[in-house]
């Protein structure tokens, strides 16, 4: 029995119209199985995104309330309150608290109480970038102290720092 292509084509020709609908049904079934099969991971991603959105909404609300509190704060009144609270703290304790905070900011090598609400401190700094980082850390302590003078050289930086809340 020989295989004759012409005869096979003649036999298949009446059923050739079924090829398009059969291929369409196969594509639909494969597409649905991919969509339904991955629905768990799709739902997980949607729920995770929804949770992230909810946490960001809560964070936004908290930050907005903090912003309104900060905008409503009167700087003069807060400074007066800080000065009145500072008067109840003994002078030696304030200096030691300030020096402790300055030690946390960097490698403090020496300090000297210059009087008149100022402390002279000396730090080891490798370069100007390290000095900039040190000044940023000290700037975070701003309500308590501010830098008045900076001398930089030979891998050392000498700072004159005014302690804002010392009693006069």
Q: How far is CA 101 from CA 28, 107, 117, 119, 123, in A?
A: 69, 11, 16, 13, 13
In the chain, the percentage of residues whose pLDDT exceeds 70 is 85
Paired tokens of 103 = 């030690």
User: Does residue 132 have a pLDDT over 80?
Assistant: yes
CB 122 within 8 A of CB 108: yes
Whether 110 and 122 have beta carbons less than 8 Å apart is answered as yes
* C-alpha to C-alpha distance for 125 and 100, rounded to whole angstroms: 18
Render pLDDT for 25-50 as a digit per residue (tens, 0 to 9): 999 998 888 777 766 677 788 889 99
Interval 41-99: pLDDT, tens: 777 888 899 999 999 999 999 999 999 988 888 888 888 887 776 665 555 566 777 77
Q: Cα–Cα distances in Å, from 119 out to 1, 110, 146, 154, 161? A: 110, 10, 10, 21, 5
> Which among 66, 35, 143 has a CA at the least distance from the CA of 97?
143
Domain 90-163 classification at class level: alpha beta
Mean pLDDT over 110-128 rounds to 81
Is the pLDDT at 168 greater than 90? The verdict is: no
> How far apart, in whole angstroms, are the C-alpha atoms of residue 63 and residue 57?
10
Write phi, then psi, for 90 (nearest 5 degrees).
Answer: -60, 150
For residues 112 and 88, the answer to whether their CB atoms sit within 8 Å is no
* pLDDT over 90, % of the chain: 18
Its pTM surpasses 0.85: no
Q: Domain locations in the chain? A: 1-73, 90-163
């Amino acid at each position: 029995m020989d295989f004759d292509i012409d005869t096979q084509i003649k036999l298949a020709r009446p059923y050739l119209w079924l090829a398009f609908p059969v291929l369409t049904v196969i594509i639909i079934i494969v597409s649905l199985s991919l969509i339904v099969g991955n629905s768990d991971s799709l739902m997980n991603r949607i729920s995770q995104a929804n949770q992230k959105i909810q946490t960001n909404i809560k964070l936004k609300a908290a930050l907005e309330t903090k912003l309104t509190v900060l905008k409503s704060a009167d700087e003069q009144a807060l400074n007066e309150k800080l000065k009145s609270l500072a008067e109840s703290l003994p002078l030696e304790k304030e200096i030691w608290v300030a020096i402790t905070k300055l030690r946390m900011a960097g490698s403090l090598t020496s300090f000297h109480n210059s009087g008149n609400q100022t402390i002279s401190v000396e730090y080891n700094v490798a370069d100007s970038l390290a000095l900039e980082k040190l000044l940023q850390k000290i700037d975070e302590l701003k309500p308590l102290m501010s830098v008045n003078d900076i001398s930089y050289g030979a891998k050392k930086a000498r700072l004159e720092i005014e302690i804002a809340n010392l009693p006069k």
